[in-house]
Every structure is written in structure tokens, then in C-alpha cells.
Homo-oligomer: A and B are copies of this chain.
Amino acid sequence: MMILGLVRWMQPVHGYDVRRELLSWSADKWANVQPGSIYHALRKLTEEGLLRTVATEQVGGRPARTTYEITEKGQEEFESLLRGLWWQLNEPADPFAAAFSFLPALPRDEAAAALRNRANLLRAGMAWMRTSLESDWLRDTKPVHVGWMFELWTGRAEAEAAWCDRIAERIDSGVSYLPAGLERAEGWSGWEQRLPRHPSQSE
């Protein structure tokens, strides 16, 4: 619920403003806030007493827009929420990790190829971020910590790309997936069942 934080520094705002700001940050990507959830969140926060409605003006025959601002209680809640996120470590759920745990379900050559492809995608993303870091637009209109966030993302991506290449190498080398103790022991028989190579995945 970082909607609260946005209202805090844009107040007084109405829902549509928040939505535009979020989309301009493309925050639907890296935060988990889709435009549809904004209004629900605003109403929810209001009835919890963290926000308060300031006015409800009607401009033309358009839908009436209600303007919100933060309450004292909302301030406190925001502080504690923000501090929680800064001081505690809560790693996000990574869908690729879930997929990777099914590694034995893919043919070895496809897995290696996909990992190398992933490394390329990551490096492409890094290159894109580096060029925007040098663009005037970002330097002149965005606070510097936006660039710092890009640095974090490129750093992580670099580490991950290196890992992809390393793992792809290992898979190509033909090492067994089985635990070290039991090279061909019992219990893992039907496990390495794999899918047929998919023909159209050449890219």
C-alpha cells in the first residue's frame, strides 16, 4: 500500500492523478499496483481513517472526482510502513526460481539455450538502462535516486547473467542432477522424465 505514500507527497490529489503518476513511473511493472486497484485502495484507506476526502467536484458531465489528502493517522501509518520496508528484508517471489526448480523437466540442450538467452535478455535490459542513465531527460528531470535504482537493477542483472552462463556451461557438461550421495540409487527413477524438444523455440 504505497498508494498512501503517493498521496502523501502529491496531496491533495484525486484518483486519476495518482494513476497517471504511477503509470508515468511504469510502476505497474516494479511495484504491484495496477490502475484498477487504485480507487479501491483509496476508498479502503479512507474508511480506515488514513485518508480524508477534501472535496468532490464535478467538472462537466464527467464522473465526479473526489480529492483526498492524508490524515495524521495516515502519516504515522506511512512512516511505520516505510520503515518496515527499509529495515526489514523481504525478498519478492521470483517466478523464474519456481520455473528453475523444474529444470529436470526440460531437455538439457534447451535448458542451456534458454539460460544463455536469459543472459542476453538481462544484458540487453542493462544496456537500455545504462543509456537512459546517460540521457539528458533522466538527468535533468528526475531525482538522482531514480538513477541509483537503475544501478541496483543493473547490478542484480549482471550477477544473474553471469550465473546463467555458468549454469548453462554446467548443464552442457552433462553433470547429473541427482544428489551427490546416490548417483543411481533408488527412488529417483521416473523423475527425470522430460518433455520433447519444442521445435519452434529456435530464436
List the interface of chain A (C-beta within 8 A of B).
Answer: 2, 5, 8-9, 25, 27, 29-32, 79, 82-83, 85-106, 110-111, 114, 117-118, 121-122, 125, 139-146, 148-149, 151-153, 155-156, 158-160, 162-163, 166-167, 170, 175-182, 191, 193, 195, 198, 201, 203
Given the complex, which residues of B lie within 8 Å of A145, measured CB to CB?
100-101, 103-104, 177
- The reply to whether B181 and A9 form a contact with Cβ atoms under 8 Å apart is no
Given the complex, which residues of B lie within 8 Å of A95, measured CB to CB?
31-32, 85, 90, 92
- The reply to whether B177 and A143 form a contact with Cβ atoms under 8 Å apart is yes
Given the complex, which residues of B lie within 8 Å of A125, measured CB to CB?
89
Cα-based distance from A105 to B191 in the complex (angstroms): 52
Given A98-B31, A106-B82, A179-B139, check contact A155 B144 (CB 8 Å).
no
Residue of B nearest to A8 (CB): B105
Which of B88, B97, B178 is the one whose CB lies under 8 Å from A152? B97
For the residues of A in contact with B, the DSSP-based class is helix
Given A2-B99, A101-B25, A156-B156, check contact A163 B144 (CB 8 Å).
no
Given contacts A139-B179, A140-B180, A148-B170, 19 further A-B contacts (CB under 8 A): A5-B102, A8-B105, A9-B193, A25-B101, A27-B98, A30-B97, A31-B93, A82-B195, A83-B114, A85-B95, A86-B106, A86-B118, A143-B179, A144-B175, A144-B177, A144-B180, A155-B163, A156-B159, A158-B159
- The reply to whether A144 and B178 form a contact with Cβ atoms under 8 Å apart is yes
Given the complex, which residues of B lie within 8 Å of A8, measured CB to CB?
105
Residue of B nearest to A86 (CB): B114
Given the complex, which residues of B lie within 8 Å of A152, measured CB to CB?
97, 100, 160, 163
9 pairs from A and B in contact (CB 8 Å cutoff)? A29-B91, A31-B93, A82-B105, A85-B98, A87-B203, A104-B143, A140-B181, A143-B177, A155-B159
